Structure 1
């Protein structure tokens, strides 16, 4: 089963964190990604840029509206994603429980419903 681990945590800049904490965080996330990859479950991983550079597009009345910044005004933001392929939710929970950001934020585990691959939409198992 394919799951996306959505990492939500308080957003801080490199200056807010300081060089030592930033370097430690990078080491921890690298070790986490390496462990997922070594286990053969990692499909992709991405660290997102700060929410300040987000563009949100909506069309509540049919007219396209482009807004700078995130849609939700919260202290925690989506900071990154890991897409993994594992046997079941228990395995996904096990991997989420090892994410470094769990110490300061939440990990949302969302199963894939359908994905676009090789030019067509297909169930995630294909």
Structure 2
């Protein structure tokens, strides 16, 4: 079963040192999952200051700067996993360092009809 883990946290909660430590620990988890054949993709996202939101209204695109909603926590990265059970996905999510200062949302991927 494929799951997406969405990593949320406040961008301001990290010092440069704690961010580097988080990245190092996260990369080690990625390497482990890749060796086990469970990692499909993972990546941190750039700052929300680089984001744009697109809405189409009356057939015309409207592009605004920033995320869709103002919140205290922002989407900071993701993992896409292929694991046997939801419990395994949840256990991996609990190991991801940002879970200790933010949260990790675990959602199964849906299948597109062919």
**TM-score, structure 1 length as denominator?**
0.82
SS in 2 for 1:64: strand
For structure 1, list consecutive stretches of 5 or more residues without a partner in the other structure: 116-120
Name the stretch that deviates more: 60-69 or 104-113: 60-69
Partner of 1:92: 89
1:107 aligned residue: 104
Pairing partner for 1:82 from 75, 79, 82: 79
How far apart, CA to CA, are the structure 1 residues paired with 2:47 and 2:85? 31
TM-score by length of 2: 0.90
Give 2:5's aligned residue. Answer: 5
Deviations, residues 50-88 of structure 1 (Å, cap 9, x unaligned):
111101000244321110111110111000000000112
How many residues align? The count is 114
Structure 1: which 4+ aligned runs deviate by more than 6 Å? Answer: none
Q: Does 1:68 align with 2:88?
A: no
RMSD of Structure 2 on Structure 1 (CA): 1.8
Show the counterpart of 1:17.
Answer: 15
1:45 to 20, 42, 46: 42
Whichever structure has more helix as a proportion of its residues is: 2
Query: Aligned equivalents of 2:19 and 2:86: distance in 1?
Result: 31
